[in-house]
Structure 1
Amino acid sequence: MTVTEDALTTDVLRYTAFTDDPAGGNPAGVVLDASGLDDAAMLAVAARLGYSETAFLTRPAEGGAGRRDFAVRYFSPKAEVSFCGHATVAAAVALAERVGTGDFVFHTQAGPVPVSVADDGFGAPHATLTSVEPSVEHADEADVAEALAALRWERGDLAAALPPRVAYAGARHLVLAAASRGRLAELDYDFERLAALMRRLGLTTLQLVWRESASVFHVRDPFPVGGVVEDPATGAAAAAFGAYLRALGAVGEQARLTLHQGGDLGRPSRLTVELRAGDPRVRVSGAAVPVTAA
């Protein structure tokens, strides 16, 4: 089905991503037709909503009516971010509910992100995004020490098998692996100190992880640079984490991983990460459902 302009609304929609329960997942704002909004207006909408991100869609300059291509910008309550996974999933599901399931292309600041939406008829629609080409780099020891101090963690709280790295799949994340589920659960950090480090390093979140099994992980993502203490589900970090695991050889070239996030916040989320042999990009999947305004 092609996209007709009258299917695109200027209303601010509210969806929660990586869950089929309106009380779970990570809420995101979605504006399907943001052509009348400038930067200041988009930031004001995101700040008013108070969600970790809001996605604003417009037609790309070269696009014509009927194409399933959109330029997308993402704003936290404090600033624009280059890419946001949960708002991508939310926006794709919102589109699909109005114009039909299938494939879209979101043109983001990080690059083009294909998104496919399917509905199995038994639950909420699922969206799968394909990341831009990722990269993984060593984390400076002094920066890791500062991050640990801001988190109030000790060096011994880290899992030796999964060393600190900075991973990118549209946005930069410092990955730190906890040695125990208990350490991950007790998250109480210095908001301003961590925000200052993240701004200096150009980080979007910290990806804090604990490995339950070969393919199952529990994750938490502090997001002070966006004015949010913690994200309940973080698709961009999930994509970066998939690249991180592959770069370390911690999983195979082809793998399917489950990430549990948000449970410690009372908003359980489930993210599926897929790695394919021969393709450096990472696929992240999850459901999304509309929520009503509080």
Structure 2
Amino acid sequence: MLRYAAFTTDPAGGNPAGVVLDASGLDDAAMQAIAAELGYSETAFVTGKYAVRYFSPKAEVPFCGHATVATAVALAERIGPGQLNFSTLAGQVAVTVDELLRATLTSVEPYVEEIGDVSEVLDILAWQADQLDPALPPAIAYAGARHLVLSTLTRQRLAQLDYDFDRLLAFMLERDLTTLQLVWRESANTFHVRDPFPVGGVVEDPATGAAAAAFGAYLRELGAVQAPVTLTLHQGDDLGRPSLIEVELRAEDNRVRVSGNAVSIAEPG
């Protein structure tokens, strides 16, 4: 069992992930038990030649960005930098690790769905409709997993996150959502985000690469940014685990590139 913090160069920052580089002898129950015991939002298990599965403490998820970055860096430290092609439940995900051990993943084909009435989820979050940013309307975005995007007008509203865990869990399970992507736009290409993750048994993710990829697809679909462009996402600040995520949109294809560092975490004790 390896431990890495992703989307940071500081072991005390970013989002911790478990990484098992040889899980070929583990069945589903064993992988789930390891993820639950570790307690990180996700643990990645390499079950074959770059076949990767992801488990939260509560359930398997089709794709996880921060655990992908962590796994790619862990492999690069052992076999050298270069390109890896991960086979995930969401599809093939190419990851390139450079000489500085910075990983860039390329998402599966994304999509964006409209969502109707969001009054229920706003009530769960204790948000008001007039606190939403009308320039970034609610939608569901996918780039390996489904995320509901909700954008607020102020950083203060984003900072005050206190929600009903069980109600949000039920809401998300009904809609096959992995996280909520809660957003405040600081400038044209800079955003602050928070990601409740009750379906994984976690109140909040300090860095969510899959949601970052989905958010990039959402912004492109909305016309809120124009490719080619690189976006900067700040996450984890309100949890004391600052994370830095870069999202690249290219003009030549719809897939989203998500980049970040990862660093090993010392084992406890």
With normalisation by structure 2, the TM-score equals 0.99
Corresponding residue for residue 51 of structure 1:
40
Q: How does 1:32-47 map to 2 (within 5 A)?
A: 32-47=21-36
Say if 2:82 is the partner of 1:102.
yes
Query: What does the per-residue CA deviation read over 1:168-201, in whole Å, with 9 as the maximum and x for residues that have no partner?
Result: 0000000000110000000000000000000000
Give the Å deviation of 1:59.
Answer: 1.9
Partners of 2:267 and 2:33 in 1: CA distance: 17
Mapped to 2, the partners of 1:225 and 1:32 lie a distance apart of 25
**Aligned-partner Cα distance in 2 for 1:227–1:119:** 35
What's the counterpart of residue 76 of structure 1? 56
Partner residue of 2:109?
A: 133
2:70 equivalent in structure 1: 90
- Aligned counterpart in structure 2 of residue 291 of structure 1, from 256, 260, 265: 265
1:163 alignment partner AA: P
Structure 1 residue 225 and structure 2 residue 205: aligned? Answer: no
Q: How many angstroms apart in 1 are the aligned matches of 2:264 and 2:144?
A: 25
Query: Counterparts of 1:131-280 in structure 2 under 5 Å?
Result: 131-141=107-117, 144-280=118-254
SS at structure 1 position matched to 2:254: strand
Q: How far did residue 152 of structure 1 move?
A: 0.7
Partner SS state of residue 226, structure 2: coil
Indicate the larger mover: 80-89 or 111-120.
111-120
Offset, 1:221 = 0.1
Normalization by structure 1: what TM-score?
0.90
Hey, what's the Cα distance between the residues in 1 that align with 2:157 and 2:267?
34
Deviation at 1:33, TM superposition (A): 0.5
Secondary structure of 1:279's aligned partner: coil
Aligned to 1:3: none
Quote the RMSD (CA, aligned, Å). Answer: 0.7
Matched, 1:23 2:3: no
State the alpha-carbon separation in 2 of the partners of residues 147 and 83 from structure 1: 24
Paired residue type of 2:92? P
The code of the aligned residue for 1:48 comes to: E
SS in 2 for 1:259: strand
Measure, in 1, the Cα distance between the counterparts of 2:124 and 2:85.
Answer: 38
- The percent identity for this pair of structures is 71
Bigger Rg, which one: 1
In the alignment, the residues of structure 1 paired with residue 23 and residue 119 of structure 2 have an alpha-carbon distance, to the nearest angstrom, of 42
What SS does the aligned partner of 1:280 have? coil
2:161 partner letter: L
Q: Output the amino acid matched with 2:162.
A: D
The alignment partner of 1:29 has SS state of strand
**Structure 1 position 145, deviation (Å):** 1.2
Deviations 1:86-120 (A, max 9, x none): 00000000000001000000000000000000123
CA distance in 2, matches of 1:289, 1:76: 20
* Structure 1 residue ranges without an equivalent (≥5): 1-11, 61-69
Q: Which runs of 4+ in 1 moved over 6 A?
A: none
